């Protein structure tokens, strides 16, 4: 069993970007600028946004963190996005999800200028991705493709089972893995909450992408010997023995599944850092398009 080390792969990507940014600065060109909006005080969202801002600092990107109150009126958030849309210095805009219940994700996503949609959630970005056109690919699936590429994982002709059909991970993942590209060219099955006998599908998989958000859902009896396991889950579960009061659990029962795999992503340190690296690549690309 070998580890798909997301920390190592993301560091390599960030190091490359750091060099590119230094070059832009030396040429007096515009530096990539990411604007992140965080609404409310969700602990996990705080951590993710802080990690995104930290990665910008590390690489030499400019970043702006906009914090808004939990009870902010939707129209105020939409106005803020419009302001960022028309700010020529801002290359990428992200609004951290989930949003409070009184705010429509759809309205928010649709308000972001597709040219600054570094999360790749806007219908224009999604449509372009489905057609295989150049676009911003959502950061988590893009990060997973970069991870497979980094470790030179052969995917062509393999049966990939994606467990989960969210717009953020499962659905785009299924599209990317089936594309006529490398990595890609998989035969893809999408399983979800209404799938009967998920275990039977998983047992046939050469690659499993577990993105359903249920801690330790994938157990050893669901996994074929030699399979490649990508664990997208990252759920906080109570653990009083830790200072934070919680520990992170993936969607895969790691200790039991790992010995059966050829490759597996750890949690943390697998997909998470790759999501950030992919977001940084999207932000760089957006800036390049303006430079």
Q: Which residue numbers are catalytic?
A: 52, 96, 119
Q: In this chain, which stretch among 14-22, 55-63, 90-98, 281-289 interacts with ligand GUN, using CB under 6 A? A: 90-98
Q: In this chain, which stretch among 1-9, 82-90, 91-99, 147-155 interacts with ligand GUN, using CB under 6 A? A: 91-99
Pick from 163, 179, 173, 140: nearest CA to 10: 140
Among 96, 135, 174, 265, binds ligand GUN (CB under 6 A): 96
| 63 interacts with ligand GUN by CB under 6 A | no
- Alpha carbon 166 to its chain centroid, in Å, reads 12
| 53 interacts with ligand GUN by CB under 6 A | no
| 119 interacts with ligand GUN by CB under 6 A | yes
Distance from C-alpha of 103 to C-alpha of 239, rounded to nearest angstrom:
32
Residues 255-284 within binding reach of ligand GUN (CB under 6 A): 275
Among 34, 168, 177, 188, binds ligand GUN (CB under 6 A): 168
Rounded to the nearest 10 degrees, the angle between the axes of helix 170-178 and helix 139-150 is: 40
CA atoms within 13 Å, Cβ hemisphere of 30? 16
Distance from C-alpha of 250 to C-alpha of 267, rounded to nearest angstrom:
6
Distance from C-alpha of 210 to C-alpha of 191, rounded to nearest angstrom:
10
Of residues 142 and 263, the one with the C-beta less far from ligand GUN: 142
Among 9, 77, 139, 228, binds ligand GUN (CB under 6 A): 139
| 94 interacts with ligand GUN by CB under 6 A | yes
Bridge-based pairing of strands 228-231 and 263-264 is parallel
Distance from C-alpha of 122 to C-alpha of 200, rounded to nearest angstrom:
34
Q: Whole-number minimum distance, CB 136 to ligand GUN, in Å? A: 11
Q: Whole-number minimum distance, CB 39 to ligand GUN, in Å? A: 11
| 97 interacts with ligand GUN by CB under 6 A | yes
Per the CB < 8 A criterion, the answer to whether 275 and 281 are in contact is no
Question: Which residues form the interface with ligand GUN (CB under 6 A)?
Answer: 94-97, 119, 139-140, 168, 275
């Amino acid at each position: 069993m070998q580890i798909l080390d997301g920390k190592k792969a993301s560091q390599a990507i960030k190091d490359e970007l750091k060099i590119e940014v230094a070059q832009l600065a030396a040429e007096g060109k515009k530096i990539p600028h990411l604007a992140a909006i965080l609404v409310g005080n969700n602990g996990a969202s705080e951590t993710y946004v802080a990690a995104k801002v930290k990665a910008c600092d590390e690489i030499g990107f400019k970043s702006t963190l906009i914090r808004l109150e939990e009870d902010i009126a939707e129209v105020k958030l939409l106005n803020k996005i419009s302001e960022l849309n028309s700010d020529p210095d801002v290359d990428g805009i992200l609004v951290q999800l989930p949003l409070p219940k009184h705010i429509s994700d759809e309205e928010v996503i649709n308000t972001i200028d597709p040219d600054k949609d570094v999360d790749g959630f806007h219908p224009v970005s999604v449509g372009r991705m489905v057609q295989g056109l150049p676009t911003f690919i959502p950061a988590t699936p893009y990060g997973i493709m970069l991870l497979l590429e980094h470790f030179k994982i052969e995917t062509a002709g393999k049966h990939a089972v994606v467990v989960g059909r969210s717009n953020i991970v499962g659905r785009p993942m299924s599209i990317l893995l089936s594309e006529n590209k490398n990595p890609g060219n998989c035969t893809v099955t999408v399983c979800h909450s209404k799938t009967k006998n998920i275990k039977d599908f998983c047992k046939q998989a050469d690659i499993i992408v577990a993105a359903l958000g249920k801690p330790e859902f994938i157990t050893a009896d669901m996994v074929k010997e030699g399979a490649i396991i990508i664990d997208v889950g990252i759920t906080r579960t109570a653990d009083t023995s830790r200072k934070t009061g919680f520990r992170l659990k993936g969607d895969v029962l790691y200790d039991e599944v790992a010995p059966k795999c050829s490759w597996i992503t750890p949690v943390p340190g697998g997909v998470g850092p790759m999501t950030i690296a992919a977001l940084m690549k999207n932000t760089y690309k957006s800036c390049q398009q303006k430079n």
